[in-house]
Structure 1
Amino acid sequence: MQLKRSVNLTPSSAQFIVLTSVLITVIFNYPFISAAYESVSPLTFWDWIFLLTVPLLLTLINIIFLSLFGALLFPRLTVAITFLVSSPLLYASLVYGVVFDSSMIQNVMETNSGEAFSYLNLSFLLFLLLLGLVPVFAILNQDIQNCFTSHLAKMLFVNLLALLGLTVIGVLFYKDYASVGRNNKALVKQIIPYAFYDAGYKYLRNIYFNPPLPYRILDQKPYLIESSQSSFKTVVMVVGETARADKFGVNGYIRNTTPQITEKGAISFANVTSCGTATAVSVPCMFSRLGREQYESRVAESQDNVLDIINRAGTKVTWIDNNSSCKGACNRIETIEFDPGRDPTLCDGDFCYDEILVNLLRLSLSKPPNLNQLIVLHMIGSHGPTYYRRYPKKFARFTPDCQRSDIQNCKEEELINTYDNTIAYTDYVLGNIIEALKTVPNSSMLYLSDHGESLGEKGLYLHGFPYNLAPKEQTHIPMIYWDSTFTDRAYKSCIDQLAHNSFSHDNLYDTLIGLTNVSSVTYQPTMDMFKLCKR
């Protein structure tokens, strides 16, 4: 007599959820588990047991989360969505070292199409295909036993076991989890996909669900201080993008990436830090009265910034953009918005080289001013990951460069060469701005980058890391100052001495007030970087 053995490959909903919960832990949360291991650095037997509970804890949380958010009725759809969301998050975490917080969500939401498409490359598409689309296809075609009564009973049983497991782990290892969490606050922001969901919720809450604040005018009647100069004052404020102070030759970098800054007699301030690590935070923060410690985007948007004060005082303020936007900083002043089709010789339909700002500046300066003016130029600068698109081919001084967006696959030398080319091109643009201002009496230029950039140091790329955890490469920024009155040796010597001091974006508000000769109740003289040198 021959017995036939049949193998049932159709799982129940409970078995399906348990299996996919394990996969979400093992595959998508490998960076989190690895970071937890590095944080604990196990030495004792108890340390190892504690570490073993980490993936178990995460699996139990997955089971409960998936059950609560649809797996009781639609297990395949719930898991498929989770895989689709988790695969690009894992790519961002592995490749760029991204940590998911509300500011990162803000960066994503405020990115324009040109920036967004610059992140698309073969590596990302293959990653999304293998860990996102293929598993989702398999999940949606998976047969699942569908007796509702049995399905419900098994799902409830599995969730009760998960709750029991969480309780046991909590009782035995609460002190260990509390200690590791307290000393490594960025860890929870690496849990995929929950850190993303949490950050998304906070972003939506802050932007759409909190009631708008009433607008606050910080100074009703700022005014211009009479100057001994017979000509009107012209100040050009250049907002840099993703530039690192340590890559400027004038700051001691081994390569002479900044010959124009030196030749034109501009002064570099080598010890300056940013307000944030991403444009969406840094740009509005640097013009705000709040300062980094007190900065909240919701508050900043509902009150005057320094551009509003200067404009109200009677100075003509104009913002000229070659980036995605001013992030709200120019909402109430004259703005020339970014146009990727403005000049076919300098634009490719997605981006424009920063030389276009020089052309627009010269156009503005060609009209004799009948009042003081502040012109803000917002550069595309060194924005990644497509660094090679930030400079014309003739400016590729350092070769071979990295002609691709998946920069993690470039050789270190190629990546550094490409980034250094962007800095050298920025130097060229700043040199042209200074040259244009030399024909304008009583003029000055202040260049200040919004934040820095990681180029593979500590396994991190790009920017946007939480500020308190960010490496110095993302917060140490260049600042360059040139003034037509540098012909006064005493004044230039005084500025030279100040250049060794430590400053930050917090100083910009008062420094611009001082440069534009504005009197305002919001002005704090001790925060004005150049106050000590004023005649």
Structure 2
Amino acid sequence: MPDFLSRRIHVNSLVFSVSLLLASVANLHFWSTLIDALGGATLARLPVLLGSFAIVVLLFHGLLTLASFRFVVKPALMLVVLSASAAAWFINEYGIVIDKAIIQSIFETDPREAVELLNWRLVLFVVMTGGLPAMLVARARVRFPTGARGLAQRAGIAAGALALAALLLVMLFKSLAPVVREHRELRYLLTPTNAAQALHAYVRGRSRIPVVVAPLGRDAVKGSHWAGQARRTVTVIVVGETARAQNFSLNAYARDTNPRLTREEGLINFANVQSCGTATAVSVPCVFSVFGREHYDEDRARRQEGLLDVLSHAGFEVLWRDNNSGCKGVCDRIAFTDLSTPQAGNHYCAGDECYDEGLLEGLPALIRGSGKDLVIVLHQKGSHGPAYARRYPAGFGRFGPVCESSEFETCTRESIAAAYDNTILYTDYVLSKTIDMLRVAAREDGVDTAMLYFSDHGESLGEGNMYLHGAPYIVAPQEQTHVPMMLWLSDGFADRFRIDRVCLRARRDQALSHDNVFHSVLGMLDVQTAILNPKLDLFHACVRNG
């Protein structure tokens, strides 16, 4: 055994060593961001930077000292070091931040999508920066203070470290306060406190989930435009995944990513739409809730029925077909079909990857055989990263060369964008195919049809050295919040509900958001209920009288 491993080390020295490791190696991106926020690493700013580093070390040392007991300290330090190493990898590699939404995504994502994030470079990084330090901690011969004196010593060290950190913070407050206020992402970059806070918020939220869900819109009924109508309606709501508006040629993107939708007669594109969140776990429940982004809270939304429940109360048969990681509680009380895994009858899978065309499999027969007015939600896999090249069949690899790897470090930004653009090209095909199916159903099956598409959130493709999504909304770049939305109505549907499509097209560039979806779906289907807000209903001003 090496001589340094045979020596006994005081537990306080061990904790301090780990605190130094966490403050430095695990937080390179934090310090880089802070330096940029301060205006650069200059000699004049050196006292602020050194003071900030001392604050972080003292903070970690004070908190970890509370766990510096025999049988506790080693497992605690090893867990902290390993989790901090993994968090640092994802922060450094993809430019993400660790908050509650990210933790929620980790627990609720499709395991197959999570596997795409694993690679040898991640393993090597965690082994070198987390595994080796954890092994040294495990093999260390630690000397512990005992008895009441030991408890007093720990309490004094913890209190002293935290007090000194607080004193330094007061001294540097004038310099740091404006920076922290303007760059709120810093709190989500400091590892491992970011992960601890996010995990606590997630667990606290989950533990408060009620058993009983409050009713919503039980007064919902079909309005006057339904009177005397013999034809059924079929409304398809397509929930896109990770599609950002600026990569749609419908929105003036340079690449022709929408060759079919551009030529689709009657399509209405809305070019200025903002998402409710930057992750599926937030945006999907938010967009189907009545609260809107400003008042949305996960706990509140889980306590309350949503849009699909209101439609059920009004007499619609509501179905959810999923090629993603579930509906995040939105479809708990309606029919659900999982099409995200290969199974008999799903001809649109390659290996363990199922393409979005599978969402349309069997739909014409389902529409034809149903005797009710239908609302069908199709939840896409869409453009979910980082393995964009797996999201589309080979025939849609028009743009290239493409990044075939989920290790963005090994790819150019151009190849990442090319793979992503191919996912938009495939979405263009799936949406056009959906419209064609609804057009045939209107003509041959005597039903009035409509399609509404919107994405849950956008995606960063290297802008500002950020990748993927999930940034806290307050600091999220527009690439993650600016989403596509479009509408198609059959002639019969538009005539039935007296919808003025010219009026809707005139609203193409109007500032809209996910907040409009809840009320606009009710408005387009003429569902009368006290919870309908006409100000958020896109159709309210575009319905002809008489």
TM range (shorter): over 0.9
Partner of 1:525: 534
**Structure 1 stretch displaced more, 220-229 or 99-108:** 220-229
Alignment size in residue pairs: 529
CA distance in 1, matches of 2:134, 2:460: 33
Q: Write the distance in 1 (CA, Å) between the matches of 2:86 and 2:176.
A: 28
Aligned residue in 2 for 1:431: 432
- Decide which of 460, 466, 489 is 2:466's aligned counterpart: 460
- For 1:432 and 1:375, the matched residues in 2 are separated by 15
Aligned match of 1:347: 349
Deviations 1:71-112 (A, max 9, x none): 566443332221111111001110112212212211111112
Distance 1:430 1:370 in 2: 25
Counterpart for residue 134 of structure 2:
136
Instruction: Name 1:449's counterpart in structure 2.
Output: 455
Q: Is the 8 A contact 1:241 1:449 kept in 2?
A: yes
What's the offset of the Cα at 1:470?
0.3
In the TM superposition, residue 283 of structure 1 has moved relative to its aligned partner by: 0.6
Deviation of the 1:156 alpha carbon: 6.1
Give the 3-state SS of the residue equivalent to 1:329 in structure 2.
coil
Aligned counterpart, 1:186: 185
Q: Secondary structure at the match of 2:538?
A: coil
Shift of 1:468: 1.1
Q: Which residue in 2 is equivalent to 1:284?
A: 285
Q: What are the within-5 Å matches in structure 2 for residues 127-526 of structure 1?
A: 127-145=125-143, 148=146, 158-159=157-158, 162-163=161-162, 165-208=164-207, 210=208, 212=210, 215-225=213-223, 226-227=225-226, 230-265=230-265, 266-342=267-343, 343=345, 345-348=347-350, 350-367=352-369, 369-441=370-442, 442-485=448-491, 491-526=500-535
TM-score between the two structures when normalised by the length of structure 1: 0.92
The alpha carbon displacement at 1:46 in A equals 6.4
Distance 1:427 1:72, change over 3 A: same
Distance in structure 2 (CA, Å) of the matches to 1:220 and 1:63: 55
Contact residue 346 and residue 356 of structure 1 kept, 8 A: yes
- Partners of 1:194 and 1:459 lie apart in 2 by 23
What is the aligned counterpart of 1:120 among 92, 97, 118? Answer: 118
Residues in 1 aligned to 2:329 and 2:379: alpha-carbon distance in whole angstroms: 13
Deviations 1:504-530 (A, max 9, x none): 100001111122221111111221112
CA distance in 2, matches of 1:35, 1:370: 59
Question: In the alignment, is the contact (CA less than 8 A) between 1:233 and 1:373 conserved in 2?
Answer: yes
Q: After the TM superposition, which of the residue ranges 446-455 and 180-189 deviates more from structure 2?
A: 180-189
Could you report, residue by residue, the CA deviation over 1:373-427 in whole angstroms, capped at 9, with x for unpaired residues?
1111111000111111110111111121111111232111211110000000000
Please state whether the residue corresponding to 1:403 is helix, strand or coil: coil
Q: Post-superposition shift, 1:163?
A: 4.2
Cα distance in 1 for partners of 2:101, 2:282 equals 7
Contact 2:278–2:469 (CA<8 Å) still a contact in 1? yes
Over the matched positions of the two proteins, sequence identity in percent amounts to 36
1:355 partner amino acid: E
Aligned to 1:93: 91
For residues 472 and 332 of structure 1, the distance between their equivalents in structure 2, rounded to whole angstroms, comes to 34
Deviation at 1:339, TM superposition (A): 4.2
Matched residue, 2:103: 105
Cα displacement (A) at 1:147: 6.8
Task: After TM superposition, list the pairs within 5 Å mapping 1:43-58 onto structure 2.
Answer: 47-58=45-56
Q: Does the residue aligned with 2:239 lie in a helix, a strand or coil?
A: strand
| Equivalent residues of 1:238, 1:379 under 8 A apart | yes
Q: Is the CA contact (8 Å cut-off) linking 2:209 and 2:299 kept in structure 1?
A: no
SS in 1 for 2:361: helix
How far residue 500 of structure 1 moved from its aligned partner, in angstroms, is: 2.1
Report the CA distance between 1:47 and its aligned residue. Answer: 3.9
Contact between 1:105 and 1:203, CA under 8 Å: does it hold in 2?
yes
Q: CA deviation at 1:428?
A: 0.4
More off after superposition, 173-182 vs 348-357: 173-182
1:19 and 1:455, CA in 2 relative to 1: closer, same or farther beyond 3 A? same
Q: Which residue of 1 aligns with 2:57?
A: 59
Instruction: Show CA shifts across 1:42-71 (max 9, x none).
Output: 698764312211111111112111111245
| Conserved 8 A contact 1:277-1:451 | yes
Gaps of 5+ in 2: 443-447
SS at match of 2:464: helix
Determine if contact 1:235/1:515 at 8 Å carries over to the other structure: no
Aligned-pair CA distance for 1:322: 0.9
| Uncovered stretches (5+) of structure 1, i.e. residues with no partner | 1-5
* Aligned partners of 1:267 and 1:480 also within 8 Å: yes
Q: Encode CA deviations 1:310-360: one digit per residue, 9 max, x unaligned.
A: 111111111111111011111111211244022564224543100101214
Find the residue that maps to 1:39 and give its secondary structure.
helix
Q: CA deviation at 1:281?
A: 0.7
State the shift of 1:294 in Å: 0.2
Q: Name the counterpart of 2:445.
A: none
Q: Which residue of 2 aligns with 1:35?
A: 33
CA offsets 1:432-482 (integer angstroms, 9 cap, x no match):
101101122321111110100001111111111001110000000001111
1:172-218 CA-partner distances (Å, limit 9, x unpaired):
2234343333332221221110111011111111111x373853222
Against the structure 1 CA distance between its residues 161 and 366, is the aligned structure 2 distance closer, same or farther, given a 3 Å change threshold?
same
Question: What is the deviation of 1:129?
Answer: 1.7
Contact 1:13/1:155, CA 8 A, preserved across alignment: no
TM-score by length of 2: 0.90
| Equivalent-residue separation in structure 1 for 2:470 and 2:459 (angstroms) | 9
Q: Cα offset for 1:151?
A: 7.4
Output one character per residue of 1:90-147: Cα deviation in whole Å (capped at 9) or x when no partner: 0111011221221221111111211211111122122122112222222212333457
Separation in 2, partners of 1:167, 1:490: 62
- Decide whether the 8 Å contact of 1:72 with 1:155 is kept in 2: no
Aligned-partner Cα distance in 2 for 1:400–1:181 = 40
Look up the match of 1:3: none
CA separation in 2, counterparts of 1:347 and 1:247?
25
SS in structure 1 opposite 2:129?
A: helix
1 CA distance for matches of 2:41 and 2:324? 50
Judge conservation of contact 1:239–1:377 (CA < 8 Å) in 2: yes
The answer to which of 423-432 and 101-110 deviates more is: 101-110
Letter of the 2:542 partner, please give it. C
Question: Matches of 2:57 and 2:305 in 1, distance apart?
Answer: 48
- Aligned-residue CA RMSD (Å): 2.6
Letter in structure 2 aligned against 1:455: L
Distance (whole Å) between structure 2 residues aligned to residue 418 and residue 62 of structure 1:
41
